[in-house]
Amino acid sequence: MATTIIIARSSSDKPERASLEQELAELCVARGLDVLLVPDLYHIAENSEIWEELARLRDRALVFSWMYPRPAECVLRRHRIGDNGLQTFDLASYEAAQEALEAPHLSLAASDGSQTPGGALKELQEPISPRWYPVVDRSRCTDCQHCLQFCIFGVYELDDAGRVVATNPDNCKPGCPACARVCPNSAIMFPLFTDDDAICGAPGKLVTLDAPARRMYYVRTGKRCPECGQEGEATPAGSQGGKVCPECGRQLPGRLEAPDEPRESNALDEIDALIDELDDIAGGGQ
Where does this chain bind ligand SF4 (CB under 6 A)? 134, 136, 141-147, 150-151, 153, 155, 164, 172-173, 176-179, 183, 185, 187-188
Closest separation in Å from C-beta 153 to ligand SF4: 4
Q: Are 188 and 142 in contact (CB under 8 A)?
A: no
Q: Are 234 and 215 in contact (CB under 8 A)?
A: yes
Closest separation in Å from C-beta 209 to ligand SF4: 11
Q: Which is nearer to ligand SF4, 113 or 284 (CB)?
A: 284
Residue type, 66: W
The CA-atom distances, in angstroms, between 222 and each of 83, 111, 145, 225 are 40, 58, 13, 9
Closest separation in Å from C-beta 112 to ligand SF4: 37
CA–CA separation, 145 and 140 (whole Å): 13
The CA-atom distances, in angstroms, between 284 and each of 155, 176, 178, 278, 281 are 17, 12, 16, 10, 5
Among residues 38, 69, 18, the alpha carbon closest in space to that of 200 is found at 69
Closest separation in Å from C-beta 144 to ligand SF4: 4
Residue type, 74: C
Closest separation in Å from C-beta 198 to ligand SF4: 14
Q: Which is nearer to ligand SF4, 95 or 195 (CB)?
A: 195
Q: Which is nearer to ligand SF4, 101 or 164 (CB)?
A: 164
Q: Which is nearer to ligand SF4, 164 or 267 (CB)?
A: 164
Q: Which is nearer to ligand SF4, 177 or 191 (CB)?
A: 177
